[in-house]
Amino acid sequence: MRPDGYLSSGLLLGCLLLGCLGHACTNDPAGLSYTSVTLSATNAQGESTPGECTTLPILLGSHAMNTIDFDGQFEARVFASAREVEISFTGIQDPGAAKRTLSAEQLDAGYAETVTLVANDGQQFDVLIDSGCAQ
C-alpha cells in the first residue's frame, strides 16, 4: 500500500487475478434438474421415428404444449404442467384407451411404458413413453 493510503496498481491487479481464480475454483454451476418425457414410435416393420422430448415447466401456472406428428399416421398431444403431463393421441382407433396422465413424481422416479396403437388406416404402432430426455 502506498504511503498515501491508496493501493498500487500491481497489487490491485493481483487481487483481481486471485479473485478470478478463486471464482473459477468455487464455481460449480448446477442449475436446475428438469422433469421430461419422451415419446417415440415403432411400426410393425420395425421402423422407428425419432423420439421427441417434452420438458415439464417449473413454475406453477406454466404449461408446455407439444404436438408430435408420427409420419402423418397419427399425432400425440403432450400437455405438461409443473405437476403432471397429459398424453393423448389423435388419428388412432380408441384414443380414450391410449390416453395417459403421468405425475411429475412418476416421471422423476423413472417411467417407461409401451402403448400399442392402431392408426386409423389400420397400421399398428408401438409408442414408447419414457421419462427423461435423450437430447
Q: In what order do the strands lie in the sheet with 48-55?
A: 48-55, 36-43, 124-131, 112-118
Query: Cβ of residue 88: shortest distance to another protein, in angstroms?
Result: 15
Laid out side by side, the sheet with 63-70 consists of 63-70, 74-81, 84-90, 100-103
Contact letters for another protein, residues 11-30 (x by CB under 8 A): ------------x--xxxxx
Name the minimum Å distance from CB 27 to another protein.
5
**57/91 with CB nearer another protein:** 57
Contact set for another protein, span 91-130 (CB under 8 A):
none
